[in-house]
Amino acid sequence: MFVEQITLPLADDLHVHLRQDHLMQTVVPLIDKGGAGRVLVMPNLKPHIKTTKQALNYQQALKALNPRVEYLMTLYLNPELTIEEIQKAATAKIIGIKSYPRGVTTNSEDGIENYEIYYALFAEMEKLGLILNLHGEVPSNAEKNICILNAEENFLQHLEKIHKNFPKLKIVLEHITTKAAVEKVEELGLTVSATITPHHLDLTVDDWAGQNHNYCKPVAKYPSDRAALRAVIKSGNPKFFLGSDSAPHLRSAKENSCACAGIFTTPLLLPYLADTFEKLNCLNKLKDFCCTFGREFYGLSALEQTITLKKISQKIPAEYNHIVPYRAEDELQWRIID
């Protein structure tokens, strides 16, 4: 069947980086243009979002820039976080606590090293229904043969251990990139799910070698890993849903001798996905991946406003105010129409 138009609710993008200052001002107005109506906002700002107060202030700033979008807020898991702060966060409808292993991505210098010190917090989160959002990579360690290629696979034991200890705690393993992660999330209980980015459905290691605009963390891996991500999307397993990990950086921070990690997909999020899902012959899975599975896992209401994607080609802009988008200047087969 030839599909040339799709209408679906605004998407839930359950993992975005909206940044601060100049970047924030450029990115936030583009969220709904890309087709998302609700986003889970990452807390790795400078300084990190560590308190409810900081999160609410940040949420206010985002709303002021773009009131058409709903912002789900998170706190940065850190040793200063108290049970009282977790309770305050839950009351303020902060939805998740994000854990970054130390040093593995942008602004994660004081990420966590040992999860057991957080068990009292996890117990409280489990009780209050807060989500644990895991950046699932262990730090590189040459002596243990751990590098960016197997950092995710080596993290899965931590995921499993936390889940065993807190079986009712809802956990999202963020931006998964490996067959091993797909299999582990499939294997564990219904309280464990995973986000998948648009770019990890497209790329392998060959695509980011020397190509900084395709360089993100976790890095895209083997073709067999990409195949596992594609297969689980096509299977319609509700444990796997959209989190774009859209991560804007200025062109100057990408095209140099030491590039920042991150791929910017916010302004064309749904057209990217429609392109990819069509290539994978699973356009019929697009709505659940973008609008149903994540929302249901998080316990959110359905968004009422809809968008329509039409099969009309468009050229991806070279940049948005000095931020180079994913697949810049390439052709997309789908666009959002009013």
Q: Interface residues with its own copies (CB under 8 A)?
A: 140, 142-143, 145-150, 204-206, 208-213, 215, 219, 222-224, 226-227, 254-261, 324
To the query of whether residue 310 is one of the catalytic residues in this protein, the response is: no
41 within 8 A of 65, measured Cβ to Cβ:
no
Q: Which tokens is 149 given?
A: 């290629």
**Rg of the chain in Å (alpha carbons):** 19
Maximum alpha-carbon separation in the chain: 55
Q: Which of 12, 13, 245, 275 is catalytic?
A: 245
- Using the minimum distance from each CB to its own copies, give the nearer residue, 120 or 227: 227
> How remote is the C-alpha of 240 from its chain's centroid?
12
Q: Least separation, in Å, of the C-beta of 254 and its own copies?
A: 7
Ramachandran area for residue 5 (φ above 0: left; ψ -120 to 50: alpha; else beta) = beta
Instruction: Tell me, yes or no, if 338 is annotated catalytic.
Output: no
48 is catalytic: no
Nearer to its own copies by C-beta: 98 or 179?
Answer: 179
Nearer Cβ to its own copies (55/156) = 156
Q: How many CB atoms lie within 10 A of CB 241?
A: 28
Smallest separation (angstroms) from its own copies to the CB of 21: 22
CB of residue 258 to its own copies, shortest distance in Å: 5
Count Cα atoms within 13 angstroms, Cβ side, for 65.
22
- Residue nearer to its own copies on the CB measure, 31 or 316: 316
We find the least distance from the C-beta atom of residue 269 to its own copies, in angstroms, to be: 21
CB of 253 to its own copies, least distance (A): 10
The catalytic residue among 48, 163, 170, 175 is 175
Record the tokens describing residue 279, joined without a space: 């290539």
Is 175 among the catalytic positions?
Answer: yes
User: Whole-angstrom Cα distance, residue 102 to residue 183?
Assistant: 25
Catalytic annotation, pick one of 50, 135, 163, 249: 135
Which of 12, 13, 15, 179 is flagged as catalytic?
Answer: 15
What lies within 8 Å, CB to CB, of 89 at 6+ separation is: 52, 55, 75, 97, 130
The Cβ of residue 128 has, within 10 Å, a number of other Cβ atoms equal to 13
Q: Which is nearer to its own copies, 67 or 210 (CB)?
A: 210
Q: Which of 13, 17, 184, 202 is catalytic?
A: 17
Q: Which residues are catalytic?
A: 15, 17, 98, 135, 175, 245
